[in-house]
Structure 1
Amino acid sequence: MKKQILSFTLVLFSLLSFAQTNYEKIMKEKIAKVESGKSAEDFQALANDFQRIADKEKGKWQPSYYTALSYIQKGRALMRENKVQELDEVADQAQKYVDEAKTVETNADIQLLQKMIYSLKMMVNPMERYMTFGMKATEQMASAEKLDPNNPRIALIKAEDVYFTPEQYGGSITKGMELFKQALEKFNSYKPKSDLDANWGKSEAEYFVSQATK
Protein backbone atom coordinates (compact mmCIF):
# COMPACT_ATOMS: atom_id res chain seq x y z
CA MET A 1 0.00 0.00 0.00
CA LYS A 2 2.83 2.37 0.89
CA LYS A 3 4.50 1.64 -2.44
CA GLN A 4 1.25 2.46 -4.28
CA ILE A 5 0.91 5.77 -2.44
CA LEU A 6 4.55 6.64 -3.16
CA SER A 7 4.12 5.72 -6.83
CA PHE A 8 0.97 7.83 -7.10
CA THR A 9 2.72 10.76 -5.41
CA LEU A 10 5.66 10.56 -7.80
CA VAL A 11 3.35 10.43 -10.83
CA LEU A 12 1.36 13.42 -9.54
CA PHE A 13 4.55 15.37 -8.88
CA SER A 14 5.80 14.59 -12.39
CA LEU A 15 2.52 15.75 -13.94
CA LEU A 16 2.56 18.98 -11.95
CA SER A 17 6.19 19.59 -12.87
CA PHE A 18 5.43 19.00 -16.54
CA ALA A 19 2.42 21.35 -16.43
CA GLN A 20 4.54 24.08 -14.82
CA THR A 21 7.32 23.64 -17.37
CA ASN A 22 4.83 23.74 -20.25
CA TYR A 23 3.19 26.86 -18.78
CA GLU A 24 6.52 28.65 -18.52
CA LYS A 25 7.50 27.65 -22.06
CA ILE A 26 4.26 28.99 -23.54
CA MET A 27 4.47 32.20 -21.50
CA LYS A 28 8.05 32.86 -22.60
CA GLU A 29 7.08 32.37 -26.25
CA LYS A 30 4.23 34.86 -25.95
CA ILE A 31 6.19 37.37 -23.87
CA ALA A 32 8.90 37.45 -26.55
CA LYS A 33 6.28 38.78 -28.98
CA VAL A 34 5.22 41.74 -26.82
CA GLU A 35 7.96 44.07 -28.08
CA SER A 36 7.84 42.84 -31.67
CA GLY A 37 4.16 43.70 -32.10
CA LYS A 38 3.37 46.66 -34.34
CA SER A 39 -0.34 46.94 -35.10
CA ALA A 40 -3.49 46.97 -33.01
CA GLU A 41 -4.30 43.60 -34.53
CA ASP A 42 -0.96 42.16 -33.38
CA PHE A 43 -1.63 43.20 -29.80
CA GLN A 44 -5.24 42.02 -29.86
CA ALA A 45 -4.01 38.57 -30.91
CA LEU A 46 -1.51 38.60 -28.05
CA ALA A 47 -4.18 39.73 -25.60
CA ASN A 48 -6.35 36.81 -26.70
CA ASP A 49 -3.48 34.38 -26.16
CA PHE A 50 -2.59 35.70 -22.70
CA GLN A 51 -6.28 35.86 -21.77
CA ARG A 52 -6.69 32.14 -22.42
CA ILE A 53 -3.71 31.44 -20.17
CA ALA A 54 -5.01 33.83 -17.48
CA ASP A 55 -8.38 32.08 -17.47
CA LYS A 56 -6.63 28.80 -16.61
CA GLU A 57 -3.95 30.15 -14.25
CA LYS A 58 -6.00 32.05 -11.70
CA GLY A 59 -3.34 31.92 -9.02
CA LYS A 60 -0.63 33.59 -11.13
CA TRP A 61 -0.45 37.34 -11.76
CA GLN A 62 1.75 37.34 -14.86
CA PRO A 63 -0.85 36.08 -17.41
CA SER A 64 -3.32 38.77 -16.33
CA TYR A 65 -0.51 41.34 -16.33
CA TYR A 66 0.49 40.54 -19.92
CA THR A 67 -3.13 40.46 -21.06
CA ALA A 68 -3.53 43.99 -19.71
CA LEU A 69 -0.21 45.09 -21.21
CA SER A 70 -1.25 43.76 -24.62
CA TYR A 71 -4.47 45.76 -24.49
CA ILE A 72 -2.55 48.87 -23.45
CA GLN A 73 -0.12 48.40 -26.33
CA LYS A 74 -3.10 47.97 -28.62
CA GLY A 75 -4.35 51.32 -27.35
CA ARG A 76 -1.00 52.97 -28.01
CA ALA A 77 -1.07 51.55 -31.56
CA LEU A 78 -4.56 53.02 -32.02
CA MET A 79 -3.24 56.39 -30.82
CA ARG A 80 -0.60 56.30 -33.56
CA GLU A 81 -3.44 55.72 -36.02
CA ASN A 82 -5.40 58.66 -34.52
CA LYS A 83 -8.22 56.33 -33.45
CA VAL A 84 -8.52 57.88 -30.00
CA GLN A 85 -12.27 57.30 -29.74
CA GLU A 86 -11.54 53.57 -29.37
CA LEU A 87 -9.27 54.08 -26.36
CA ASP A 88 -11.97 53.97 -23.67
CA GLU A 89 -13.03 50.47 -24.65
CA VAL A 90 -9.45 49.20 -24.86
CA ALA A 91 -8.57 50.79 -21.51
CA ASP A 92 -11.59 49.13 -19.90
CA GLN A 93 -10.47 45.75 -21.24
CA ALA A 94 -6.99 46.33 -19.82
CA GLN A 95 -8.48 47.41 -16.49
CA LYS A 96 -10.24 44.08 -16.04
CA TYR A 97 -6.94 42.20 -16.16
CA VAL A 98 -5.01 44.72 -14.06
CA ASP A 99 -7.69 44.23 -11.41
CA GLU A 100 -7.20 40.46 -11.65
CA ALA A 101 -3.41 40.80 -11.33
CA LYS A 102 -3.87 43.01 -8.25
CA THR A 103 -5.80 40.27 -6.47
CA VAL A 104 -2.70 38.07 -6.64
CA GLU A 105 0.24 40.47 -6.46
CA THR A 106 1.17 44.06 -5.59
CA ASN A 107 4.17 45.47 -7.41
CA ALA A 108 5.40 48.53 -9.28
CA ASP A 109 4.89 47.06 -12.74
CA ILE A 110 1.20 46.44 -12.10
CA GLN A 111 0.87 49.97 -10.71
CA LEU A 112 2.57 51.30 -13.83
CA LEU A 113 0.00 49.57 -16.04
CA GLN A 114 -2.70 51.30 -14.02
CA LYS A 115 -1.00 54.61 -14.77
CA MET A 116 -0.88 53.76 -18.47
CA ILE A 117 -4.59 52.87 -18.48
CA TYR A 118 -5.46 56.26 -17.03
CA SER A 119 -3.22 57.93 -19.61
CA LEU A 120 -5.07 56.14 -22.43
CA LYS A 121 -8.39 57.36 -21.08
CA MET A 122 -7.04 60.90 -20.79
CA MET A 123 -5.93 60.90 -24.42
CA VAL A 124 -9.53 60.49 -25.63
CA ASN A 125 -9.91 64.19 -24.77
CA PRO A 126 -6.85 65.62 -22.96
CA MET A 127 -8.31 69.09 -22.38
CA GLU A 128 -11.42 67.74 -20.67
CA ARG A 129 -9.91 64.73 -18.93
CA TYR A 130 -6.57 65.95 -17.60
CA MET A 131 -7.99 66.96 -14.22
CA THR A 132 -9.50 63.50 -13.77
CA PHE A 133 -7.57 60.78 -15.55
CA GLY A 134 -4.42 62.86 -15.95
CA MET A 135 -4.20 63.43 -12.21
CA LYS A 136 -4.96 59.78 -11.50
CA ALA A 137 -2.16 58.78 -13.87
CA THR A 138 0.26 61.04 -11.98
CA GLU A 139 -0.79 59.51 -8.66
CA GLN A 140 -0.28 55.98 -9.94
CA MET A 141 3.16 56.86 -11.30
CA ALA A 142 4.16 58.16 -7.88
CA SER A 143 2.80 55.01 -6.25
CA ALA A 144 4.75 52.77 -8.63
CA GLU A 145 7.95 54.72 -8.09
CA LYS A 146 7.56 54.43 -4.33
CA LEU A 147 7.28 50.65 -4.62
CA ASP A 148 10.32 50.27 -6.88
CA PRO A 149 12.30 53.48 -7.55
CA ASN A 150 14.89 51.67 -9.69
CA ASN A 151 12.33 50.11 -12.03
CA PRO A 152 13.46 51.01 -15.58
CA ARG A 153 9.93 50.91 -17.03
CA ILE A 154 8.88 53.68 -14.66
CA ALA A 155 11.81 55.76 -15.91
CA LEU A 156 10.88 54.90 -19.52
CA ILE A 157 7.25 56.01 -19.20
CA LYS A 158 8.31 59.20 -17.40
CA ALA A 159 10.69 59.88 -20.31
CA GLU A 160 7.86 59.35 -22.81
CA ASP A 161 5.57 61.71 -20.92
CA VAL A 162 8.15 64.50 -20.87
CA TYR A 163 9.33 63.92 -24.45
CA PHE A 164 5.90 63.88 -26.08
CA THR A 165 4.24 66.60 -23.98
CA PRO A 166 4.28 70.03 -25.71
CA GLU A 167 6.60 72.54 -24.07
CA GLN A 168 3.72 74.90 -23.23
CA TYR A 169 2.35 72.13 -20.99
CA GLY A 170 5.63 71.35 -19.28
CA GLY A 171 7.19 68.92 -21.73
CA SER A 172 10.71 69.03 -23.13
CA ILE A 173 12.37 67.01 -25.87
CA THR A 174 15.79 67.70 -24.35
CA LYS A 175 14.73 66.67 -20.85
CA GLY A 176 12.93 63.67 -22.31
CA MET A 177 16.12 62.52 -24.02
CA GLU A 178 18.02 62.76 -20.73
CA LEU A 179 15.34 60.67 -19.05
CA PHE A 180 15.57 58.04 -21.81
CA LYS A 181 19.30 57.80 -21.09
CA GLN A 182 18.58 57.35 -17.39
CA ALA A 183 16.02 54.67 -18.21
CA LEU A 184 18.56 52.79 -20.34
CA GLU A 185 21.08 52.89 -17.50
CA LYS A 186 18.48 51.34 -15.22
CA PHE A 187 17.64 48.67 -17.81
CA ASN A 188 21.31 47.71 -17.96
CA SER A 189 21.47 47.04 -14.22
CA TYR A 190 17.94 45.93 -13.30
CA LYS A 191 17.16 42.21 -12.93
CA PRO A 192 13.57 40.92 -12.93
CA LYS A 193 12.71 38.43 -10.19
CA SER A 194 11.89 35.69 -12.70
CA ASP A 195 11.87 35.00 -16.43
CA LEU A 196 8.12 35.65 -16.48
CA ASP A 197 8.21 38.99 -14.67
CA ALA A 198 8.01 42.25 -16.59
CA ASN A 199 11.12 42.88 -18.69
CA TRP A 200 9.89 45.00 -21.60
CA GLY A 201 10.90 48.47 -22.72
CA LYS A 202 14.67 48.36 -23.15
CA SER A 203 14.52 48.40 -26.95
CA GLU A 204 12.49 51.62 -26.87
CA ALA A 205 14.97 53.30 -24.54
CA GLU A 206 17.81 52.18 -26.83
CA TYR A 207 16.02 53.62 -29.85
CA PHE A 208 15.60 57.08 -28.36
CA VAL A 209 19.13 57.17 -26.98
CA SER A 210 20.44 56.21 -30.43
CA GLN A 211 18.52 59.13 -31.94
CA ALA A 212 20.24 61.51 -29.56
CA THR A 213 23.65 60.49 -30.87
CA LYS A 214 22.82 61.14 -34.53
Structure 2
Amino acid sequence: MSKRSKIAAGPGFSVTVLCNPSVLTERLGIAREEWPSTLRACQHDADAAWFAEAGRLTPEMLVSVRSLQTMAFQGLTRRTYVEARAIELVCDLWEQVAKQAPAPLGALDARTLTKVEKTRLHIDANFAEPLFMQGLARNVGTNETKLSQAFRTAFGMTVFEYVRNRRMEEARRLLRRFDMSVTEIAFEVGYEHSCNFSVAYKRHFGITPKSERAAASH
Protein backbone atom coordinates (compact mmCIF):
# COMPACT_ATOMS: atom_id res chain seq x y z
CA MET A 1 0.00 0.00 0.00
CA SER A 2 1.26 3.50 -0.76
CA LYS A 3 0.08 7.08 -0.61
CA ARG A 4 0.13 9.53 -3.48
CA SER A 5 -1.45 12.96 -3.33
CA LYS A 6 -1.59 15.83 -5.78
CA ILE A 7 -2.90 19.36 -5.41
CA ALA A 8 -4.10 20.72 -8.73
CA ALA A 9 -3.53 24.28 -9.93
CA GLY A 10 -7.01 25.40 -9.01
CA PRO A 11 -9.92 24.31 -6.82
CA GLY A 12 -9.51 20.63 -7.68
CA PHE A 13 -7.95 18.42 -5.03
CA SER A 14 -7.58 14.67 -5.31
CA VAL A 15 -5.97 11.90 -3.30
CA THR A 16 -5.10 8.45 -4.63
CA VAL A 17 -4.46 5.53 -2.29
CA LEU A 18 -2.98 2.39 -3.86
CA CYS A 19 -3.99 -0.66 -1.86
CA ASN A 20 -3.14 -4.33 -2.31
CA PRO A 21 -6.27 -6.50 -1.81
CA SER A 22 -4.44 -8.39 0.94
CA VAL A 23 -4.67 -5.23 3.07
CA LEU A 24 -8.46 -5.54 3.01
CA THR A 25 -8.46 -9.18 4.03
CA GLU A 26 -5.42 -9.46 6.30
CA ARG A 27 -5.11 -6.01 7.88
CA LEU A 28 -8.73 -4.88 7.99
CA GLY A 29 -10.43 -8.28 8.25
CA ILE A 30 -12.83 -7.65 5.35
CA ALA A 31 -13.86 -10.97 3.83
CA ARG A 32 -13.92 -11.28 0.05
CA GLU A 33 -17.65 -11.99 0.24
CA GLU A 34 -18.08 -8.43 1.53
CA TRP A 35 -16.28 -6.86 -1.43
CA PRO A 36 -18.33 -5.07 -4.11
CA SER A 37 -19.19 -7.47 -6.93
CA THR A 38 -17.17 -5.33 -9.35
CA LEU A 39 -14.02 -5.80 -7.25
CA ARG A 40 -14.57 -9.54 -6.98
CA ALA A 41 -15.02 -9.76 -10.74
CA CYS A 42 -11.80 -7.81 -11.25
CA GLN A 43 -9.92 -10.25 -9.02
CA HIS A 44 -10.99 -13.14 -11.27
CA ASP A 45 -10.03 -11.31 -14.49
CA ALA A 46 -6.46 -12.24 -15.43
CA ASP A 47 -6.16 -9.17 -17.67
CA ALA A 48 -7.34 -6.69 -15.04
CA ALA A 49 -4.48 -4.71 -13.49
CA TRP A 50 -6.44 -2.19 -11.43
CA PHE A 51 -9.75 -1.66 -9.74
CA ALA A 52 -10.66 1.94 -8.97
CA GLU A 53 -13.27 3.12 -6.50
CA ALA A 54 -14.01 6.83 -6.29
CA GLY A 55 -15.33 8.58 -3.22
CA ARG A 56 -15.72 12.02 -1.75
CA LEU A 57 -12.96 13.59 0.32
CA THR A 58 -14.45 13.73 3.82
CA PRO A 59 -13.21 16.07 6.59
CA GLU A 60 -11.62 13.07 8.29
CA MET A 61 -9.76 12.11 5.12
CA LEU A 62 -8.62 15.69 4.66
CA VAL A 63 -7.09 15.65 8.14
CA SER A 64 -5.13 12.50 7.22
CA VAL A 65 -3.90 14.07 3.99
CA ARG A 66 -2.84 17.32 5.64
CA SER A 67 -1.02 15.36 8.32
CA LEU A 68 0.94 13.50 5.65
CA GLN A 69 1.82 16.71 3.86
CA THR A 70 3.13 18.42 6.99
CA MET A 71 4.80 15.52 8.81
CA ALA A 72 8.43 15.93 9.90
CA PHE A 73 9.22 12.26 10.52
CA GLN A 74 12.17 10.59 8.79
CA GLY A 75 13.39 7.06 8.15
CA LEU A 76 11.44 4.10 9.53
CA THR A 77 9.23 6.37 11.64
CA ARG A 78 8.17 8.24 8.50
CA ARG A 79 7.31 5.01 6.68
CA THR A 80 5.27 3.73 9.63
CA TYR A 81 3.41 7.04 9.93
CA VAL A 82 2.59 7.11 6.21
CA GLU A 83 1.27 3.55 6.39
CA ALA A 84 -0.90 4.35 9.39
CA ARG A 85 -2.43 7.40 7.72
CA ALA A 86 -2.90 5.46 4.47
CA ILE A 87 -4.80 2.79 6.41
CA GLU A 88 -7.05 5.56 7.78
CA LEU A 89 -7.75 6.73 4.22
CA VAL A 90 -8.56 3.19 3.10
CA CYS A 91 -10.94 2.75 6.04
CA ASP A 92 -12.71 6.04 5.35
CA LEU A 93 -13.09 5.19 1.66
CA TRP A 94 -14.23 1.65 2.41
CA GLU A 95 -16.94 3.02 4.68
CA GLN A 96 -18.32 4.88 1.66
CA VAL A 97 -17.98 1.83 -0.59
CA ALA A 98 -19.78 -0.43 1.90
CA LYS A 99 -22.77 1.89 2.11
CA GLN A 100 -23.36 1.87 -1.64
CA ALA A 101 -22.14 -1.62 -2.54
CA PRO A 102 -24.39 -3.45 -5.01
CA ALA A 103 -26.06 -6.72 -4.22
CA PRO A 104 -23.91 -9.86 -4.43
CA LEU A 105 -23.55 -11.38 -7.90
CA GLY A 106 -25.17 -14.50 -6.48
CA ALA A 107 -28.45 -12.59 -6.52
CA LEU A 108 -28.46 -13.01 -10.32
CA ASP A 109 -28.72 -16.30 -12.15
CA ALA A 110 -25.97 -17.39 -14.55
CA ARG A 111 -27.97 -16.57 -17.68
CA THR A 112 -28.70 -13.05 -16.51
CA LEU A 113 -25.08 -12.53 -15.48
CA THR A 114 -23.96 -13.55 -18.96
CA LYS A 115 -26.26 -10.94 -20.49
CA VAL A 116 -25.08 -8.25 -18.10
CA GLU A 117 -21.43 -9.02 -18.79
CA LYS A 118 -22.05 -9.04 -22.54
CA THR A 119 -23.65 -5.61 -22.18
CA ARG A 120 -20.69 -4.30 -20.19
CA LEU A 121 -18.23 -5.53 -22.82
CA HIS A 122 -20.32 -3.95 -25.57
CA ILE A 123 -20.28 -0.63 -23.73
CA ASP A 124 -16.52 -0.85 -23.17
CA ALA A 125 -16.01 -1.23 -26.92
CA ASN A 126 -18.55 1.40 -27.98
CA PHE A 127 -18.89 3.93 -25.14
CA ALA A 128 -18.13 6.89 -27.43
CA GLU A 129 -21.07 5.98 -29.69
CA PRO A 130 -24.73 6.84 -29.02
CA LEU A 131 -26.10 4.00 -26.87
CA PHE A 132 -29.77 3.37 -26.13
CA MET A 133 -31.33 0.92 -23.69
CA GLN A 134 -33.59 -0.52 -26.37
CA GLY A 135 -30.62 -1.47 -28.55
CA LEU A 136 -28.55 -2.77 -25.63
CA ALA A 137 -31.43 -4.96 -24.43
CA ARG A 138 -32.13 -6.29 -27.92
CA ASN A 139 -28.43 -7.09 -28.33
CA VAL A 140 -28.59 -9.58 -25.44
CA GLY A 141 -32.13 -10.83 -25.97
CA THR A 142 -33.94 -9.27 -23.02
CA ASN A 143 -36.11 -6.27 -22.26
CA GLU A 144 -34.97 -2.83 -21.09
CA THR A 145 -36.37 -3.09 -17.56
CA LYS A 146 -34.76 -6.48 -16.81
CA LEU A 147 -31.40 -5.39 -18.21
CA SER A 148 -31.46 -2.10 -16.31
CA GLN A 149 -32.25 -3.79 -12.99
CA ALA A 150 -29.73 -6.60 -13.49
CA PHE A 151 -26.96 -4.21 -14.51
CA ARG A 152 -27.51 -2.08 -11.43
CA THR A 153 -27.50 -5.17 -9.21
CA ALA A 154 -24.25 -6.43 -10.73
CA PHE A 155 -22.31 -3.18 -10.90
CA GLY A 156 -23.97 -0.82 -8.43
CA MET A 157 -24.76 1.80 -11.07
CA THR A 158 -27.11 2.35 -13.96
CA VAL A 159 -26.10 1.53 -17.52
CA PHE A 160 -25.64 5.17 -18.37
CA GLU A 161 -23.71 5.94 -15.21
CA TYR A 162 -21.33 3.22 -16.38
CA VAL A 163 -21.18 4.77 -19.87
CA ARG A 164 -20.39 8.17 -18.36
CA ASN A 165 -17.69 6.69 -16.13
CA ARG A 166 -16.03 5.00 -19.11
CA ARG A 167 -16.11 8.25 -21.07
CA MET A 168 -14.62 10.20 -18.20
CA GLU A 169 -11.88 7.64 -17.57
CA GLU A 170 -10.86 7.72 -21.22
CA ALA A 171 -11.02 11.52 -21.29
CA ARG A 172 -8.69 11.76 -18.27
CA ARG A 173 -6.23 9.37 -19.92
CA LEU A 174 -6.23 11.41 -23.13
CA LEU A 175 -5.86 14.72 -21.27
CA ARG A 176 -2.67 13.45 -19.67
CA ARG A 177 -1.15 12.53 -23.05
CA PHE A 178 -1.02 16.16 -24.31
CA ASP A 179 -1.35 15.22 -28.01
CA MET A 180 -5.01 16.18 -28.42
CA SER A 181 -6.92 19.37 -27.72
CA VAL A 182 -9.79 19.44 -25.23
CA THR A 183 -12.23 19.79 -28.13
CA GLU A 184 -10.74 16.78 -29.92
CA ILE A 185 -10.96 14.73 -26.72
CA ALA A 186 -14.59 15.73 -26.24
CA PHE A 187 -15.43 14.36 -29.70
CA GLU A 188 -13.30 11.27 -29.11
CA VAL A 189 -15.26 10.24 -26.02
CA GLY A 190 -18.68 10.92 -27.48
CA TYR A 191 -19.56 14.57 -26.84
CA GLU A 192 -20.74 16.73 -29.73
CA HIS A 193 -19.96 19.97 -27.90
CA SER A 194 -16.83 20.63 -25.86
CA CYS A 195 -18.74 22.86 -23.43
CA ASN A 196 -21.02 19.94 -22.48
CA PHE A 197 -17.95 17.77 -22.07
CA SER A 198 -16.28 20.31 -19.78
CA VAL A 199 -19.37 20.55 -17.59
CA ALA A 200 -19.66 16.75 -17.36
CA TYR A 201 -15.95 16.38 -16.59
CA LYS A 202 -16.02 18.93 -13.77
CA ARG A 203 -19.15 17.36 -12.32
CA HIS A 204 -17.48 13.96 -12.37
CA PHE A 205 -13.95 14.83 -11.15
CA GLY A 206 -14.46 18.22 -9.51
CA ILE A 207 -11.97 19.85 -11.87
CA THR A 208 -12.19 21.20 -15.44
CA PRO A 209 -10.40 19.45 -18.32
CA LYS A 210 -8.04 22.43 -18.68
CA SER A 211 -7.17 22.35 -14.98
CA GLU A 212 -6.65 18.59 -15.20
CA ARG A 213 -4.18 19.08 -18.04
CA ALA A 214 -2.40 21.92 -16.23
CA ALA A 215 -2.03 19.79 -13.10
CA ALA A 216 -0.67 16.86 -15.12
CA SER A 217 1.98 19.06 -16.74
CA HIS A 218 3.62 19.89 -13.41
TM-score by length of 1: 0.26
Higher relative contact order (CA 8 A, sep 6+): 2
Hey, which of these two has a bigger chunk of helix by percent? Answer: 1
The alignment's TM-score, normalised by the length of structure 2, stands at: 0.26
Bigger share in strand: 2
